[in-house]
Amino acid sequence: MIGRAASLAVIAAAACGGPAVPMQPPTACPPALAVAPALLDDDGYRVELAWRSAATPDTPAPGDVPGYVIARLGLGPLPASLWLMRPDQPACQARIAGYRAEPLDDGVVLTARLDGCDGADAAATAWASLVGTDPTACRVLVPTQQTSDGAPPDAEAPADRAPADDAPADDAPADDVPLPTPWDARLPPPCDGCTRRWTLATIAGTPALGAVTALDTDLDAEADATCTRAIIAAGAEPRPLTETRGVALVGALADAAGTRVALFAGPTRWEVVDVDAEGRAGARRTVDTGPEAAPDPDAPAACAP
């Protein structure tokens, strides 16, 4: 996919030492290196550029940050105007309203504030194209979700409990709903005596994208003893696209040539990845927007090797 981006692009360096931004024809989706998520809050849309610890040299104090400081940190400046892309809406041209450092966990998140695209049609999450051409033919796709209907097992009921006399003979457990074969094949079987629940988010196209999370629960344990496994992948034979640490599949950019960019986001990180028709990952951009979260004591246990 790197070759695809290079064949489309003429690299234009941003002013003041900012990062190079690939350019693309007006009918194509921007490549991953020229895409960033824009989040909506009470002040409008913002693009999170990075999280920096308060102890890191040159970290700005909370408040407004001049564009030359953003450039000195290697984070921009962004183009004076950019295009917001949202599901089921035409692209909207936004303006950079300024940069800010927002306090977060003994550090700051550096953000670019946008004007011009909030209002009645605003979407909670949008994707910003950092190139100057209107991405007319680029669509934002969002996942559809399937899930098994299994409820957590009753901790007081023995795993080998006989069915009630009045239970229908063909009443199969909801947890027996199968995953689609390509995804099920990527997961190991659940542990002996475990029941499995799963969720699968998919985006149709070429390649198809998907993210599956499986939760295995040990029926024999006195308390819930669980294990989670997650995959984010693409293609007919799903190829892994990214680590699942802290991100989920939230969308894709697609044009007439197919699905072009996979979009991932989480509470402390966002990521964009070029994909080709076979589901192979190309150019990638990953941005940390907060410190790595401490382990959650209530989270399901780590899976055994």
Q: Using the predicted structure, report yes or no on whether residue 222 has a pLDDT greater than 80.
A: no
Give the per-residue pLDDT at 251. 95
CB 112 within 8 A of CB 102: no
**H-helix or E-strand spanning residue 52:** strand 44-53
**To which residue do tokens 């009630």 refer?**
164
Number of domains in the chain: 2
Structural domain includes residue 183: yes
Average the pLDDT over each of 148-152, 162-166, 225-229 and give the range with the smallest value: 162-166
Please list the residues that pair with 202 across neighbouring strands.
144, 210
Q: How many CA atoms lie within 13 A of 99 on its CB side?
A: 22
197 and 305 assigned to the same domain? yes
148 and 123 assigned to the same domain? no
Structural domain includes residue 208: yes
Residue range 159-171: mean pLDDT, rounded: 37
Q: What is the pLDDT of residues 32-51, one digit of tens each?
A: 999 999 998 888 899 999 99
Listed residues 88, 107, 137: the one ending a domain:
137
7 and 117 assigned to the same domain? yes
Domain extent, residue 240, equals 142-152+175-291+299-305
Structural domain includes residue 254: yes
Residue range 259-275: mean pLDDT, rounded: 95
46 and 26 assigned to the same domain? yes
Residue range 244-257: mean pLDDT, rounded: 91
CB 49 within 8 A of CB 130: no
Rounded Cα distance between 258 and 29, Å, is 10
Listed residues 108, 137, 166: the one ending a domain:
137
Torsional class of 158: left (φ above 0), alpha (ψ -120 to 50), beta (otherwise): beta
